[in-house]
Chains A and B, each alone.
Chain A
Amino acid sequence: MAEKNTQNTGIITPEMAKIPAGPLEKKWTNYKDHQKLVNPANKRRLDVIVVGTGLAGASAAASLAEMGFNVLNFCIQDSPRRAHSIAAQGGINAAKNYQNDGDSIYRLFYDTIKGGDYRAREANVYRLAEVSNNIIDQCVAQGVPFAREYGGLLDNRSFGGAQVSRTFYAKGQTGQQLLLGAYSALSRQIGKGKVKMYNRHEMLDVVVIKDEDGEPRARGIIARNLVTGRIERYFGHAVVVATGGYGNTFFLSTNAMASNGSAAMQMYRHGAYFANPCYAQIHPTCIPKHGDFQSKLTLMSESLRNDGRIWVPKKLEDAQKLQRGEIKGRDIPEEDRDYYLERRYPAFGNLVPRDVASRAAKERCDKGFGVNNTGLAVFLDFSDAIKRLGKDVVEQKYGNLFQMYEKIVDENPYEDPMMIFPAIHYTMGGIWVDYELQTSVKGLFCIGEANFSDHGANRLGASALMQGLADGYFVLPYTIQNYLSDQIGVPRMSVDLPEFAQAEKAITDKIEKLMKIQGSRSVDSIHKELGLVMWDFVGMGRTAESLKEALKKIDAIKKEFWTNVYIPGEASSLNNELEKALRLADFIEIGRLMAVDALNREESCGGHFREEFQTPEGEALRQDDKFSYVACWKYTGEDSEPELIKEPLDYEFTERKTRNYKN
């Protein structure tokens, strides 16, 4: 069916991507006006599986159930409220223009397209900007306690990559509050019996069954009950995957420990394209690494860049003294400080997009100006803000972040500047979806960070929450009906069908193979090795050589894993090490795919920086004539190279420019 979709040309046209015709601002309205719907009596007869309970998954599950569908919702944590969306700090964008500072739907659309370095689909991004306002309304109605001004109206702050204040926030816990809003809507539907919730269950495969015309369709999943170890089968008329990104390929990232890319790889192996895997976002404001035992990196919200100023010493000898611990940041006089973002990018200053800020930090540290014992940190300084606003105001705005920093680093950020360094944070790449958020497998949908659709090569701050909720509340509940309307005659299928049995057998075989290796390496030790290869060779600065080297090293790691991993315990009971091993097996494949894609993309754009392609000033140099396309990778077998299929990106409504944050 993949062949059918691309008509053997290796090209995905706008028609194949189901992008509605007509002017940009009319596309979504036209789509909704003409799409097929499912009537209430039929909705009751249709089962939808939603995997994941983050912003996208929980909002989709709740909304679909409210509409009348039967929903089966899965999460790997002990409660749906714990999905990693909860850790998003800074805020959520919307084009409300409450601040009267010139914002509009078009401007949010334009900033997102530009921020993504002209590698996102215009129609999807415009729709995202359009529904952004509904999200804020919805969340307020649910009782999300957004920050307010003294007059009682909603407050906004500014974020990277924008010149307006369009970010709504709830202290430094916006993700938590939005997720709890979606979780409460989900809880209501669980209470009503419209959603059947499966906690501590991990999806291990999607089950695809051919219909009478030979068309493969997603009809269910195989999941492992993480408490009992039992492998279970579930049927659904459609499957929606909302399992987040694959940043943990790097081992150390800002993702939660259990965040993984396995569901994406399961879809990929069934013929769903993996789009732009090399687009990974490295977030500039994380707490620097402190030791080899470290399990994760902690993000400090980008909102800190509103009032904090980023700098390193101007003099190399000062940096060396800092690295030896002989002086502190506050000992360096104002005139000897290099506020390098303000220097290089006067128009946006400390609020340049994340990829630009991260690379600028790397550039300074590579030149020897790093400010901690590893030389891999820059300062984020609030002394000016404290002088200007007073300590109380700073504390009110960022108190919980300052407290978090102090607990981790054991230094008081009100007195000494914070130290920060870039870390893997988000993956813009993901499973390819059409305008309806359907993958290249019929009946298989992918939403939130797990898909590739809206952020191009770089995501702007406060846009992840927006996309997750847009997909789950306002897009998928519409578009999935266009698919399900044709499925009303399909009766619930038995999970005893041979396709379910085969899928389960493949899983149990794989688990048995892993358990039998009984080698000498722990899962984490191999994962850390993979992470270092990813960071060193597929990280912030990539070259053809480094990527080729990465491929060799990843292949060696794969061999080591499959011959020398040690998993204690049994497969038929609770077994954390087995869970991690199954995820790592997929991370190794994703790492490889990231390197393959990065090698293919001979240009620099957004989060993908090929050192061979930069301007004399060190800025990313796109190659629009050659690479203005979505790179969709199609699985061709366990031991063969994936096939590249291209979705050209034609910019009909915006002029493609070189990103400029200088003036």
Chain B
Amino acid sequence: MDKYINIKVKVWRQAGPKAQGHFETYALEHIFQGASFLEMIDILNEKLISEHKDPIAFDHDCREGICGMCSMYVNGHPHGPDSAVTTCQLHMRKFNDGDTITVEPWRSHAFPVIKDLMVDRQAYDKIMQAGGFVSVNTGGVPDANAIPIPKPVADEAMDAASCIGCGACAAACKNGSAMLFVAAKVSQLALLPQGKVEAAQRAKAMVNKMDELGFGNCTNTGACAAECPKSVSLQHIARLNREFICAKFKD
């Protein structure tokens, strides 16, 4: 049964990209455990505003786990201690009375801090722009049922496609690699006949862009998949490597 708890929140405060950051600790009383983690931050911000202090800047939008905007490192884990959820779906019932909760922005070289807990993830957009698509224009495409796709294949493509682009994988990785993010897109499109045509080319373009943007290399530690809020599987990285090697052979 949900009840009320008293907690301390230790939050990373950083005024801007170039400013020196530091932790600040705030005490919060009477927090309902049915509240989401972000609602707890809302309550803290209301308190800060009432004291005429600067509220904590953080990214958030849909608050139902799908937009990928929220991006907090909570107690050493991207999106916090619960499994397969984003920060907005993390609830205060996962914490105990008297806890001190540490909140940090994504830790990744490729995601510089904008302010407090807000980071710049445009690097992911740039990887997508390098090849994360099927090259078709609007109109002039065949009937949707023209090419049957076996259900297991379509289902696997869907699992890969469930990536929300939040950046937890790169933030969790000790090498700062974006391989799971890239693999999810490469794998989704390589599985489907519509995307197969450009599969090798796509893998190469996206991996090259990832390297160029300062993401690290993959050493298969598996931290990405373990922390992924959508449980995207490590197997997709294997498929990406396959496509990438194919592309290299063709060169």
Which A residues form the contact surface with B (CB < 8 A)? Answer: 59, 62-63, 66, 77-82, 84, 86-87, 96, 98, 134, 136-154, 170-171, 173, 175-177, 180, 183-185, 187-188, 190-191, 197, 199, 227, 256-258, 290-291, 293-296, 298-299, 403-404, 407-408, 410, 473-474, 477, 522, 524-525, 566, 568-569, 573-574, 576-577
Contacts and interface: CB of A to CB of B under 8 A. Distances in A.
B132 A148 contact: no
Contact of B69 (A78, A403, A522): A78
Interface in B50-90: 50, 52-55, 57, 59-69, 82, 84-85, 89
A531 to B, nearest CB: 14
B138 interface: yes
B141 A138 contact: yes
A410 B194 CA distance: 41
Contacts of A152: 148-151, 154
B162 interface: yes
A571 to B, nearest CB: 14
Contacts of B122: 78-79, 199
Contacts of A293: 32, 35, 39, 42-43
Going nearest first, the 4 A-B pairs with the smallest beta carbon separation are: A152-B148, A191-B129, A184-B133, A141-B141
Contact of A227 (B34, B49, B84, B114): B114
Contacts of A62: 138
A171 B134 CA distance: 21
A79 B124 contact: yes
A574 B16 CA distance: 9
6 contacts: A79-B125, A137-B141, A145-B192, A298-B64, A568-B49, A573-B16
Interface of B: 2, 16, 32, 34-36, 38-39, 42-43, 46, 48-50, 52-55, 57, 59-69, 82, 84-85, 89, 91, 93, 114-115, 118, 120-122, 124-125, 128-130, 132-139, 141-145, 148-151, 154-155, 157-158, 161-162, 164-165, 188-189, 192, 194-195
A154 B145 contact: yes
Contacts of A146: 144, 154
A134 B91 contact: no
A87 B62 contact: yes
A548 to B, nearest CB: 32
A257 B61 contact: yes
Contacts of B38: 295
Nearest to B85: A407
B55 A140 contact: no
Given A143-B188, A143-B192, A295-B38, 15 more contacts: A63-B137, A77-B67, A81-B125, A142-B136, A152-B151, A171-B162, A175-B66, A291-B34, A291-B35, A295-B36, A298-B64, A404-B65, A568-B49, A568-B53, A574-B118
B136 A145 contact: no
B194 A142 contact: yes
Contact of A81 (B68, B120, B155, B158): B68
Contacts of A191: 129-130
A152 B121 CA distance: 37
B128 A183 contact: yes
B151 A148 contact: yes
Contacts of A142: 133-134, 136, 194
B2 A576 contact: no
A145 B62 contact: no
Nearest to B150: A152
A522 B46 contact: yes
Given A191-B129, A295-B42, A137 B158 contact: no
A256 B67 contact: yes
A134 B162 CA distance: 24
Contacts of A256: 61-63, 67
